[in-house]
Structure 1
Amino acid sequence: MPDRDMTTTVSLVEHPEAGAASAACTAQPSMVVRAEQAIAAACAQLGRCLQQLGPHFPGDTSRGNYFAPAVWPEEPDGVNSSWTAGFWTGLLWMAHELSGEARFGTAAAAQLDGYSRRLERRFVVDHHDLGFLFMPSCVAALRQGPQPLAHATALQAAALLMTRYLPRAGVVQAWGRLEDPAQRGRIIIDCLLNLPLLHWAAGQGGAAEMREAAISHAQRSREHLVRPDHSSFHTFHFDPETGAPLHGTTAQGASDQSCWARGQAWGLYGFSLNHRWVPEQGFLQTACQLADHFLALLPEHGIACWDMSFPPEAGEPWDSSASAIAACGLMDIAEQLPAAEAERAQRYRAAADRILDGLLRHCAGWDAPGNALLRHGVYSKPDGLGVDEASLWGDFFFLEALARRARGWTPFWHPPAALSSSPISTLTPTPTPV
C-alpha cells in the first residue's frame, strides 16, 4: 500500500494542473466523437483485463493500475465475495452491449450462477450494497432476454435487502449484522443507488412494501444526510427503536463535517435516479442542489479531490471515481429537467463534458501501463486503501458516462424498458466459482 506522503507526491507530479485544458479543448473533436473513441479504447482494455483475469473476479481496487484476482481468506481463488463484484459483471454487460462482442456477454452470463449461490450461502451479504451487486449483474442480464435464474436471484436479493429495513427509523441499515450495536440504525449516502433494486422488485412481483421502504429511506436521506448548504454527510445515525435522528458522521471523509467527494457524487446521482422511479417525491430538486454544490467545489480540470473540503492547491489526491459518478448524475439530471429549465440542463451537460474532458486527459487507463479504465481514484484515504489507484466502481461509471454521452445509452439503474433484441440464448456461458 503506498505511503500517504508518497501518494501526495505522486498526485502532485502526475496532476498537470489543467489551466491550459480549457484552451486546448477548442482544438479537440466534439465530446461525442471523443467519447465514442474512448468506448472503443475502453472495450479493448476490458478485453485485455478479462483475458488476464480469466474466470476470476478482480479486487476492489488496482495495484499499480493493474487489477488482479480478488483474494478472500475463506475463498482464495478470486471469487464473487466483495460488494464491488457487480461492477465487474456490469462492465462486461456494458462492453457486450457497446461493442457487440460475444466474449463479454459470455463471461457475464457465466457469472450469474455465482450470484445465486452467494445468496444461498449468505456469503458476505450483511450490508446494503445488494443493489450494487445485483442490479448490474442479474437485472442487467434481463436486457438480453428472459433469464429465469437472474430474475429469481434479483428478487431474492431485494427480499434480503428488505430485511435490513428498520420500520421505526424508516431506513435501510447500511453495514453489519442488524444486532450490531455499532452499526444499528446507521445509513450512508451510497445507499441511494441501492434503492432501485427495491423499486425494480416491487414492479416485478415483489412485496409492495419494498417501494414504500425505498421512498422512506430516500426521504430520510434528504432530511438528514443533506446539510443546509447542500453538502452531505457520508453517514447518519438513527435510534432504531424510536426512529429519532441522532447525528451525522463520516467513514471515508476527512472529518464528520467535511464534504467527502464520492459521497456528494453518490447523492446527486442517487437522488436523480430515485426521481426516475418516484417523480412525485420531488427528489430531482435535491439532486440539483447537491450537483450545484459539487460543481462549486470542483476544480476547473474537472477531477475532484477525494474530499471537497480541501482546495485544489492543497495537493491532496484526486478521486476520479467521484467525478465519473458525478458526470453520470449530471447527465441524468439534465435529461429529466423540464423544458422551462433548458438553460440549467445545458449547464449540467456542459459540466459533465468538462468532467469527461478532464478524465480523458488525465485519468484514462489505456494511456498508461495497466489494465484499468480510470486511474487516479481513491477508495478510502483515511484507511490508506486504493489511494491513487483504479477502482471497479470508477471504471464502471466512467464507461457508463462515456456510453451515455456518445450513444444515449440507458443505465442499468433506470426503470426497465423493452428487452434487447440480442437474446442471451445466443451466448454460451461456462460456469465459474461462486
Structure 2
Amino acid sequence: MSAPLNHAAIEPLADSPARRRWAGRAAQVDHAALEGAIAHALAAIDRNLAHFGAGFPAPSSVASVYPAMGNVEWTNGFWTGMLWLAYELTGAPRYRDAADIHVRSFHTRQLARQNTNHHDLGFLYSLSCVAGHKLTGDPLAAEAAMGAARLLLERYQPRAGIIQAWGDLSDPAQSGRMIIDCNLNLPLLYWASEHSGEAAFRDAADTHIEAAARHIVRPDGSTFHTFFFDPASGRPLQGKTHQGHADDSCWARGQAWGISGFPLVYRHNGDTRLIALSKVLANYYLNRLPEDGVCHWDLVFTSGAEERDSSAAAIAACGLLELAKSLPLADPLRAEYERAALGTVLELSEGYANHDTQPGGGLLKHAVYHKPHGIGVDESCIWGDYFYLEALVRLTRTWEPYW
C-alpha cells in the first residue's frame, strides 16, 4: 500500500483574503455564536418536523420553501440524519420518534426496491438506518441498512472495479459511470462488512475508492465529476461533468465530496494514501475561494456574480474537520484546515443562514443543486442543511460520525 494512488501535486496554500480572515476568527472563537447557530437550527427543525410530519422535504427549495414529498428521492436520508443529530444534541424523544418512523419507511423502501436503482443508497441509509442502529440498537434499522448495502453491492462492476452511479445495470449504454459523490456512499459498504463479517462489501469499496483516486482526481488536484470506463473491458475512458460548468472545470460540490469522502473511507480501511490525496484536494479548493470563504458553485469562478453554493461549503467544512483529525498535531496543515472549517461555518451562520421562520424553510440559503439544468439555483438544498448541522456538531461536541 506504499505506491501513491495518484501523482497529483499539492499546491501550497496561498496568502489569500479568506485565509487571513479565518486566522483572525480562529484567534477569538465565539463559542456562544456556535451554540446560537445550533439553537437556531433546532428551531427550524422543530418547525419543519411539524410541517412535514412523516414525510420528507424535497431535494431543494422552491421560492425558499421545500415542497413535501414521500420517501422516493436520493436525498431523503439527509432530513432523517438531521433528526438524529437533533436527538443527539438534545435527547428530546420527539426527534427519535420521528426518525424511528423514517427508519421503518426506509426498511420498506429497500424491500420494495423503490427508487433504489442508483448508488446513493449510502446517502439514504447511512444517515437514517446506520445512524439509528448506532444510536438506539434498533435491529430493524440494521436489517434495513444491510438490505440497502446488498442493493448497492449489486451495482459493483468487477471489470472496471467501480460502483455504477446510476442507470439500468443490464443496459451497456448506461454502464461504466462513476462519480465523485460515491465516496460518501462507500461507508455503508464498510459498515455492512463489519456488521455481517462478509468481506465482499469491503473489497468492493476498497476497489472503488482506488479507482476514484486514480481517475477522478486530476494532476493539478482538481476533480472530474464523472469518469467513464468501457463496460466490457473495464478500460478507463474519459472524465466529464454532469453538474459542473464544463468538463475541464471543477464542480465545487464534487471537490467537497472528495475532500470529505477520502478521509471517511480512511476511517474504515486505514489507507494513509487517501489522507495525502485529500490534502491535495483541500488545498486546491481553499486556494479558489472568494473573500468570505464560501465557494461559488464551480471553482472556475473565484469572484464575480456567479452563484455561491453554501451546501458545497458546508460539506467541505465537515471534510476539512475529518481530514484534520487524521493528521498528526505536528502537521501545520491540521491547524489550517481547522481554521478554514471554523471560519466557513461562522460565515455560513452569519451570512447564509435562513432567518425566515416560515415552515418548510431550509437552514442555509444560497445553495445550488443543478445549475446547468436550472434546478435549485440560489435556493436551500437539504444536504447543505445536514452538513451545516453536522459541522456545528463537530465543532462543539465529541461526535462519532454516522458514516
TM-score greater than 0.5 by the shorter chain: yes
Provide the rounded CA distance (Å) in 1 between the counterparts of 2:173 and 2:205.
23
Once the two structures are TM-superposed, the CA of residue 231 in structure 1 deviates from its matched residue by 0.1
Partner of 1:130: 121
Identity of aligned residues (%): 46
Partner of 1:176: 167
5+ residue gaps, structure 1: 1-17, 71-78, 414-434
5+ residue gaps, structure 2: 1-16
Provide the rounded CA distance (Å) in 2 between the counterparts of 1:138 and 1:26.
37
CA contact (8 A) 2:216 2:223 kept: yes
Once the two structures are TM-superposed, the CA of residue 311 in structure 1 deviates from its matched residue by 2.6
RMSD: 2.0
Per mean C-alpha deviation after superposition, the further-off stretch among 212-221 and 22-31 is 22-31
Once the two structures are TM-superposed, the CA of residue 32 in structure 1 deviates from its matched residue by 3.1
Once the two structures are TM-superposed, the CA of residue 206 in structure 1 deviates from its matched residue by 4.9
Q: Deviations over 1:263-312 (max 9, x none)?
A: 00000100011111111352101111100000010112011100111131
Counterpart of 1:374, as a letter, is: L
Q: Deviations over 1:240-282 (max 9, x none)?
A: 2211000001000001110000000000100011111111352
Partner of 1:350: 339
Partner of 2:110: 119
CA contact (8 A) 2:226 2:241 kept: yes
1:383 aligned onto 2:373: yes
Once the two structures are TM-superposed, the CA of residue 65 in structure 1 deviates from its matched residue by 1.9
CA contact (8 A) 1:302 1:357 kept: no
SS of equivalent residue, structure 1 residue 203: helix
Once the two structures are TM-superposed, the CA of residue 56 in structure 1 deviates from its matched residue by 1.4
Provide the rounded CA distance (Å) in 2 between the counterparts of 1:262 and 1:162.
25
Superposed, 1:370-409 pairs within 5 Å as 371-409=361-399
Assess, with a 3 A threshold, how the Cα gap between structure 1 residues 266 and 129 changes in structure 2: closer, same or farther.
same
Provide the rounded CA distance (Å) in 2 between the counterparts of 1:82 and 1:316.
27
1:101 aligned onto 2:101: no
CA contact (8 A) 1:53 1:68 kept: no
CA contact (8 A) 1:227 1:233 kept: yes
Once the two structures are TM-superposed, the CA of residue 322 in structure 1 deviates from its matched residue by 0.4
Among 156, 177, 191, which residue is 2:147 paired with? 156
With the length of structure 2 as denominator, give the TM-score of the two structures.
Answer: 0.92
1:237 aligned onto 2:228: yes
SS of equivalent residue, structure 1 residue 355: helix
CA contact (8 A) 1:53 1:69 kept: yes
Assess, with a 3 A threshold, how the Cα gap between structure 1 residues 118 and 293 changes in structure 2: closer, same or farther.
same
Q: Deviations over 1:208-239 (max 9, x none)?
A: 11101101100000000000000000000001
Counterpart of 2:98, as a letter, is: A
Q: Deviations over 1:144-200 (max 9, x none)?
A: 332111111111111110000001110000011112333201000000000000001
SS of equivalent residue, structure 2 residue 402: coil
Partner of 1:14: none
CA contact (8 A) 2:22 2:343 kept: no
Assess, with a 3 A threshold, how the Cα gap between structure 1 residues 305 and 401 changes in structure 2: closer, same or farther.
same
SS of equivalent residue, structure 1 residue 340: coil
Instruction: Count matched residues.
Output: 385
Q: Deviations over 1:389-427 (max 9, x none)?
A: 0111000000000110011322211xxxxxxxxxxxxxx
With the length of structure 1 as denominator, give the TM-score of the two structures.
Answer: 0.85
1:59 aligned onto 2:58: yes
Partner of 1:329: 319
Provide the rounded CA distance (Å) in 1 between the counterparts of 2:22 and 2:348.
16
Q: Deviations over 1:80-137 (max 9, x none)?
A: 0000011111111111111222111110111111111111211110000000000000
Once the two structures are TM-superposed, the CA of residue 368 in structure 1 deviates from its matched residue by 6.9
Superposed, 1:152-301 pairs within 5 Å as 152-280=143-271, 282-301=273-292
Partner of 1:15: none
Partner of 1:418: none
1:50 aligned onto 2:17: no
Once the two structures are TM-superposed, the CA of residue 365 in structure 1 deviates from its matched residue by 1.6
Per mean C-alpha deviation after superposition, the further-off stretch among 323-332 and 97-106 is 97-106
